Structures are given as C-alpha cells and as structure tokens.
Amino acid sequence: MPEPESFEDASAPGAQAEVIPIVAGRLVVPLVEGPVTASRGQLRMAAERFFHHRMALTGLAVFVLLLLWSTIGPVFWKYSYATITNQFGTGPSAQHPFGTDTIGHDMFAQVMQGTQTSLETALLVAAISTVIGTLIGAVAGYYGGFWDQALMRFTDVVLIIPLLAILAVLSNRFSKQADSSLFVGLLLAILFWTYLARLIRGAFLSLREREFIEAEHAIGASTWRIVLRHMIPNAAGVIVVNATLTVALAILTEAALSYLGLGVQPPQVDLGTLIASGEGDAYALPWLFYFPAVFLIVAVLSVNFIGDGLRDALDPTQREH
C-alpha cells in the first residue's frame, strides 16, 4: 500500500499544487479515503496482470471445465456411477469412453463422480479453513498482547499435531457414516487453517502501524470499519493466494487418505478411491488406473497455475511488460 505523499512546494519547477480539504484541523481525504482508492486501483491492476498471465488463464479455464463437467455431466450421461452394466473389464469404446471396471461400472461416470467429490471436498476445505485462519490471524494481529500470545500458542499446538496420525484415527472411527466426503472435508478444514493464520497475523501486525490506520483511530472509527474496510482488503492478496493453494493441497490430501482407505468410503467414490481400486489392475486393465490419475494431476496443476497467477498479479513488486 503506497504511503501518503508528502507536500510539494507549488512554486518549485514542475510541481503541482494540491488542494487538500481540512476538517477540524485534520487532513481527512489523504489519510482515510486515500488507501481505499489506492486499493481499488491496485485491484484493477492486479486483474489486468492476472488476465495477461497465460498459464493462470489456462489453469482457470481447465478448472472451470472440470467443475462443470463433473457437476453437470452426470445429469446428461446415460450411466450413473453406481450403475452396473453387462460389460466387465472392457476397454475404452464409443459406448464406454473410459471403459468399464471388473464389476461392470462405467468408468466415465465413475471418474466424473470421483472428480466431483474431490473438487467439492477441496473447495469446502479451502472455504472453511480460510475463514478460520483469517479470523484467528486477524484477532491475534490486530489486538496483540494476550490474544496474540494465546491464539498463536494454540496455532503452534495444532501445527505440531501429526496430521496423518490424527486423520487416520478420526477417519477410521467416523468416516463410515453416509456422507463420508463431508466428514473428511470438515476434518481437513479444521487442520488446514494454521499457515494462513500466521500469515494474516503478520500482515495485521504490520498494517496496524500504518499512518492511515492511525488516522482512522484518530477520527474515532470503529474496529469493524478499520478491519473490514482497510485491513482485510490490504491483506486480500495473502488470503486469496493461500485459499487457492489450499484447494490443491486438499485435493492431494483427500486423495491420499482415500487411497489409504481412510477417506471417502463406498458407495461414494473420489479420485483417490478410483486410483486405489485400479492400481491392482494397472497392467491388465490400465484405463482403470490412468484415467482417474490423469484427472487428479490435471486438477492439481490447474489450481497451482491459478495460484501462481494470483500471486504474481497481487505482488506489488510486479511490473507490466
């Protein structure tokens, strides 16, 4: 966020006179409204940089297509992921583009449903963990003192918990319920917020010392106004980039848990369960393994490209070429 410019002598060569309204002896516009205007200008520049980032746009297009294909496709496809056909272990064909498994499931429908489950779970994890991390980091960074120490020590405790161990214990105990993907998503969300909380805490510690925040305090602005109108928008880059990369991490973690039998449980399917079930037949029936594996890789890469583009676009040191 650029600092308010100092006064220039209008009589100097090339200098321009600046008219600044003064209310009750205080400079109002440059200190209070200036950062908001600058934020909007930076947002426009960030959007322009993002839409000039070819890999980010490619990743965004691929991710949107995957999301639409996996959510709308099952409505129009002739087979359900649970339908058992009279074709057992057949290769890709016009009737079954991704072939069938040894039980007779249409793999095209299975991969669609698996992709939908994995993406929905990952988006749920990113949304919930972002809210938790932003809230805890904002309170710790804005208030400091006791709240900072208490919340950061709590964050440290969550950070040292062996992630795989706790997920294995809780998943094995509770994931037998009907909607196991929802349980896995909630479980990952309450463990994925720690990194963002520390980032937001650092950003708020820096922002609360800035002149425009001090000016807001001086004119008696409420805490909610300061946080929501100035501090959150100035930390939006950190929040958005971290949320995007959390989607990719959640896809991989959820797939790994399902691969180990600790995630989504039958009759639900996700990309991890499909990869695990197709691994044993990878040589004889390679389409059972490679199709879900390719879609997993494509999903993760597309999200990573989006994250890279957002990081570059929101980086104030970037220059347009």
In this prediction, residues 218-234 reach a mean pLDDT of 78
Q: Is residue 173 part of a domain?
A: yes
Tokens of residue 240, six digits: 């958005």
Residue 282 has pLDDT above 90, yes or no: no
CA-nearest of 309, 59, 270, 39 to 175 is 270
Which helix H or strand E contains 243, and what residues bound it? Answer: helix 236-259
Q: Is residue 198 part of a domain?
A: yes
What CATH number does residue 298 fall under? 1.10.3720.10
How many independent structural domains does the chain possess? 1
pLDDT in tens, 143-192: 888 999 999 999 998 888 777 777 777 766 665 555 778 888 888 898 88
Q: Is residue 171 part of a domain?
A: yes
Eight-class DSSP state of 13 = T
89 close to 318: Cβ distance less than 8 angstroms: no
In angstroms, rounded to a whole number, what is the distance separating the alpha carbons of residues 237 and 134? 12
* Three-class DSSP category at 193: coil
* Three-class DSSP category at 308: helix
Q: Is residue 86 part of a domain?
A: no
**What pLDDT score does 315 carry?**
67
Residue 28 has pLDDT above 60, yes or no: no
Residue 25 has pLDDT above 60, yes or no: no
In this prediction, residues 278-302 reach a mean pLDDT of 91
pLDDT in tens, 32-65: 344 444 455 667 787 888 888 889 999 999 999 9
108 close to 97: Cβ distance less than 8 angstroms: yes
**What pLDDT score does 122 carry?**
94
**What pLDDT score does 19 carry?**
45
Eight-class DSSP state of 157 = H
**How many Cα atoms sit within 13 Å of 208 on the Cβ side?**
15
Supply the pTM of this predicted model.
0.79
**What pLDDT score does 262 carry?**
78
Tokens of residue 176, six digits: 């037998």
Q: Is residue 152 part of a domain?
A: yes
N-terminal to C-terminal alpha carbon distance within the chain: 21
Tokens of residue 262, six digits: 């600790």
Eight-class DSSP state of 100 = B
Q: Is residue 6 part of a domain?
A: no
pLDDT band at 304 (very low <50, low <70, confident <90, very high): very high
Identify which of 41-45, 184-188, 218-222, 296-300 has the greatest average pLDDT: 296-300
pLDDT in tens, 308-317: 888 888 765 5
Residue 114: domain span: 22-77+108-314
The alpha carbon dihedral of 231, 237, 242, 244 has a sign of positive
Q: Is residue 278 part of a domain?
A: yes
Q: Is residue 9 part of a domain?
A: no
In this prediction, residues 218-225 reach a mean pLDDT of 77
Which helix H or strand E contains 301, and what residues bound it? Answer: helix 287-314
Residue 272 is which amino acid?
G
In the predicted model, what is the mean pLDDT of the chain? 81
Residue 296 has pLDDT above 80, yes or no: yes
Question: Lowest-confidence range among 18-22, 41-45, 273-277?
Answer: 18-22
Question: Lowest-confidence range among 12-16, 105-109, 206-210, 297-301?
Answer: 12-16
pLDDT in tens, 122-132: 999 999 999 99
The DSSP-derived string for 25-70 is TEE-IIIIIHHHHHHHHHHHHHHHHHHT-HHHHHHHHHHHHHHHHH
Q: Which residue's entry shows tokens 């494509």?
A: 298
